Amino acid sequence: MKVFSNSFKRDYILIAISFFLLGILFLMYPDSSSRILCYTIGGMLCLIGLIKIIEYFKTPVSLTDYSLSLVMGLALIGGGVFVLVKPDILLGVLPTVLGVAVILDGMIKLQNTLDMLRLKDKHWWFTLVVAVVTLGLGATLILNPFKTMALLMQFVGIALIVTGVMDAVALIALSHRLSSLEKERADWMRQLKRNREIEAQQQDTVPED
């Protein structure tokens, strides 16, 4: 039995890498990175919307499997164009959006802490520290106590870099613990099978009266 599916690991690592790379971008280019991110988000919305529209026209019409791909595609393109034309509106809520994303990530780490506690892993406290730090970073982004946009963007960069690194560390720690438990379970099952085979052999060799 696999501890984590390959797709789960891939998606989790991709998120961690995305956080890390975005963090470097914000840290190195605090003045322009936020606007670049807004244009990237707008472009991605338009691209996804276009894919949805193409998917609608490629899929046969079915009354039993009704699709809203066309409406979703048009809505996504509309949202993407709006972000491209008015990036300042997204800039105003960008720290809050990123803060919410980081807080959700911290809540996932809290669940990882509970998982490790239930697995009786002695390193559960490390995951708890990681979760608390992540939640603190997210809360700071939402509260936004910074006086300048450049300083805020630099903090966003630090928060995303730290979050990305801790995501990877948390996944490795939990995956290693679950793998160890799975190995112990497999060893126990092999030993149990061996004992039963020995018992069966002993019963076969007992002389009949």
- pLDDT for 78: 94
Q: 151 in a domain, yes or no?
A: yes
How far apart are alpha carbons 16 and 20 in whole angstroms? 6
- Determine, yes or no, domain membership for 1: no
Instruction: Tell me, yes or no, whether 209 lies in a domain.
Output: no
Indicate whether 156 belongs to any domain.
Answer: yes
**What's the pLDDT score for residue 181?**
65
Task: Judge whether 45 lies within some domain.
Answer: yes
What integer pLDDT is reported at residue 119 of this predicted model?
Answer: 74
Residue 61 belongs to some domain of the structure: yes
pLDDT at residue 116, rounded to an integer: 76
Residue 43 is assigned to a structural domain of this protein: yes
**Domain that residue 82 falls in:** 6-204
Tally of domains within the chain: 1
Q: Print pLDDT tens along the chain (209 aa).
A: 444 556 666 666 777 787 788 788 878 887 777 787 788 888 888 998 998 898 888 877 765 666 778 899 999 999 999 989 988 888 778 778 878 888 988 898 888 788 878 877 777 887 788 889 889 888 888 888 877 777 777 887 888 788 788 777 777 766 766 676 677 677 777 777 777 777 777 666 655 55
Residue 143 is assigned to a structural domain of this protein: yes
C-alpha–C-alpha distance, residues 175 and 138, integer Å: 25
